[in-house]
Amino acid sequence: MLRLILKKIGLLVPTFIGVTLTSFFFIRLLPGDPILLLAGERGVDPERYQELMVKFGYNEPIWQQYLSYLGKLFQGDLGVSIVTKQPVLQEFMTLFPATVELGVCAIIFAIVVGLPAGIIAAVKRGKTLDHSVMTTALVGYSMPIFWWGLLLIILFSGTLGWTPVSGRIDLINYWIDEPVTGFMLIDTWFVDQPGAFASAVQHLILPTVVLGTIPLAVIARQTRSAMLEVLDEDYVRTARAKGLSNFRVIGVHALRNALIPVITIIGLQIGVLFAGAILTENIFSWPGVGKWMVDSIFRRDYPSVQGGLLMIAVIVMIVNLVVDLLYGLINPKIRHTE
Amino acid sequence: MADVTQNSAPDTRFELIMNFWRHFRTNKGAVAGLIFFLALVVVALLASVIAPHSAIELNSDSLLLPPVWQEGGNWTYILGTDAIGRDLLSRLIYGSQYSLFIGVVVVSVALVVGVCLGLIAGTFGGWIDTVIMRIMDIILAFPSLLLALVLVAVLGPSLINAMIAIAVVQQPYYVRLTRASVMSEMSREYVMAARVSGVRTMRLMFVTVLPNCMAPLIVQAALSFSTAILDAAALGFLGMGAQPPTPEWGTMLAESREFILRAPWVVTFPGLAILSTVLAINLIGDGLRDALDPKLKRS
């Protein structure tokens, strides 16, 4: 197992180098002079320009610049934001819990609804229920989620007035001075402000539904086809022949085996979640890294864009690696063939 | 498709297509999707004839007019008007041209580049294969929309640059698919026979092997057609795609965001157009997959 882990990590090294090269060249490929870009709209006088050229190392050969960029990366130095003058890594880490909280809620929502929906569709194969579940799933899969979010705002925030439109919490009535974890649901649970937790939950509902929609559809479709494959197997027929209850056959014998491909699909949703978070956070003014990336692009805060791009790619790589290894754990077939 | 050839041995291309159509026709959803899609193509082609108004002409006397079935609406502007008095229906009709154009361009570029790279990687193997596949891994390491956004930031926000960015993030899928099928075809006897009889490598790649790898590529093309439309609309929505006053559906949504509570129709219709187009194409994609890949059909 250890050898397998090391081998998989080894395979990631070229990708990691490629990702760092991409983010390194991102700033250098931007149209315009890098120093002028860093200086922003104020511009710089020629003397200061030379100083900055030396300071940032732009006068050195390109490979040397890349090496010093890599060196800084490994010390956790992703540069400084032009707009806030804060270290990019620090900014990212402050905002990241908001995105994680939203992403985790969305994937839980997708699994809790998608998995049973897929199972029901498989069991009722060919019936009306199957068709309606699968049609709904295909609509969800085709959903432009930025529009879906706006529709939900029109209905639930506008017409019904049930949910707030934006943010993570009602900032007029509640405040978190020193966020302990950065996760609003946890922080509000322990803070001594009645109603704060409820407010956080209310703010989470719509973004969760919007971000969870596409993963939900994917999970439902995948669960259905995995279940159908398993339901034809001999051991399921044997279980039925032994007189086990329908619930036990489907819920235990079939589901356990059908879950293996489904778990992989769930793991692969991490990239989809990040892409979705960019749109969802934008619609609901959710202060996470997705909104921050788009804002940074518009503010021409390129060090932030560069750092965020790298961090997100690295996180996606790590999560995919973990999923890959878990897959080996739950599926002995894979483990032994490697 | 390879299976179809072996089982029923149709000797003409026509029979092959009829065979495919017989399978495809049984899928009602796919046929419905196809009909909608063809209707959309007709609308796009005849946009200047069908559209009752101009897509960009302003009418300052009729701002945010509701659709005809709501109070205050009238038959001049059937789906109502937007914040600066442009006819929504006409903008949607012209918008179909952009969406189809985006789909066609992105899929063609991603398909051609991806298939060529995949053929090269699969045929030659060795370090060429390694280099190509590692580059694809790097592209796939980024969430697609994020990479597209950053590419547009480098290239500058416009519809053309958005299409280039989306094509770049989509072509790894074509490379992987082509490479995988090429590698499995390479060990077949007919390839060996062609090699022995001295067929040149180029001809072997494009004429002998490629036609037998088409089935998964066709399915992928259908699926990425819909993804391209969705992603382009998302970029437009974020202000990084087509720029106003272009009647691209995602850009229309972005422009009307601030009026969602006052005039819900300016938000509802462009999104509905995106959803139904993407849904129709996905239905076609599912139908193609079932018809072309008998193995998947059973599941």
Buried residues in B180-192 as b, exposed as e (16+ CB within 10 A): ebbbebeeeeebe
A89 falls in which pLDDT band (50, 70, 90)? very high
> Residues A237-251: pLDDT tens digits?
888 888 888 788 887
Task: Report the predicted TM-score, pTM, of the whole model to 2 decimal places.
Answer: 0.88
Q: Which of B 129-148 lie inside 8 A of A, CB atoms? A: 134-135, 137-138, 141-146
Closest chain A residue to the Cα of B141, Cα to Cα: A313
> Residues A282-300: pLDDT tens digits?
999 999 999 999 999 888 8
Contact A288, A99 (CB under 8 A): yes
A143 falls in which pLDDT band (50, 70, 90)? very high
First vs last C-alpha separation in chain A? 10
Q: Name the least confident of A202-206, A258-262, B3-7, B102-106.
A: B3-7
Q: Give CB contacts under 8 A, 24+ apart, made by A86-95.
A: A88/A303, A88/A304, A88/A306, A88/A307, A88/A308, A89/A307, A89/A311, A91/A292, A91/A304, A92/A289, A92/A292, A92/A307, A92/A308, A92/A311, A94/A182, A95/A287, A95/A288, A95/A289, A95/A292
> Residues B159-196: pLDDT tens digits?
999 999 999 999 999 999 999 888 888 888 888 888 88
Closest chain B residue to the Cα of A302, Cα to Cα: B153
Contacting residues of A for B270, CB less than 8 Å apart: 147
Residue B228 and residue B167: Cα distance in Å, rounded?
Answer: 8
Question: Nearest Cβ partner of B234 from A279, A309, A313?
Answer: A279
Comparison of pLDDT for B250 and A4, the residue scoring more: B250
Residue B293 and residue B287: Cα distance in Å, rounded?
Answer: 10
Flag whether pLDDT at A168 surpasses 90.
Answer: no
Contacting residues of B for A139, CB less than 8 Å apart: 275, 279
Question: Nearest Cβ partner of B271 from A15, A19, A147?
Answer: A147
Residue B186 and residue B197: Cα distance in Å, rounded?
Answer: 15
Planar angle of CA A78, A16, A271, nearest 5 degrees = 90
Total length of chain B? 299
Question: Mapping DSSP to helix (H, G, I), strand (E, B) and coil, where does residue A314 land?
Answer: helix
CA A288 to each of CA A86, A102, A182, A200, B239: distance values in angstroms, whole numbers, following the listed order:
16, 9, 11, 15, 19
B275 with A139: Cβ contact below 8 A: yes
Q: Would you call B299 an interface residue with chain A, using a CB distance cutoff of 8 Å?
A: yes
A309 with B233: Cβ contact below 8 A: no
Q: What is the pLDDT of residue B76?
A: 76
Closest chain A residue to the Cα of B271, Cα to Cα: A147
Comparison of pLDDT for A218 and B20, the residue scoring more: A218
Residue A112 and residue A105: Cα distance in Å, rounded?
Answer: 10
Contact B13, B51 (CB under 8 A): no
A282 with B270: Cβ contact below 8 A: no
Flag whether pLDDT at A40 surpasses 80.
Answer: no
Q: Beta-carbon neighbour count of residue B270 at 10 Å?
A: 30
What single letter denotes the amino acid at residue A58?
Answer: Y
Q: Would you call A137 an interface residue with chain B, using a CB distance cutoff of 8 Å?
A: no
Q: Which of A 172-231 lie inside 8 A of B, CB atoms? A: 225, 228-229
Buried residues in B229-238 as b, exposed as e (16+ CB within 10 A): bbbbbbbbbb
Flag whether pLDDT at A142 surpasses 90.
Answer: yes
Contact B121, B175 (CB under 8 A): yes
Mean pLDDT of chain B, nearest integer: 86
> Residues B192-245: pLDDT tens digits?
888 888 888 888 888 888 888 888 898 889 889 999 999 999 999 999 988 888
A146 with B237: Cβ contact below 8 A: yes
Comparison of pLDDT for A77 and A218, the residue scoring more: A218
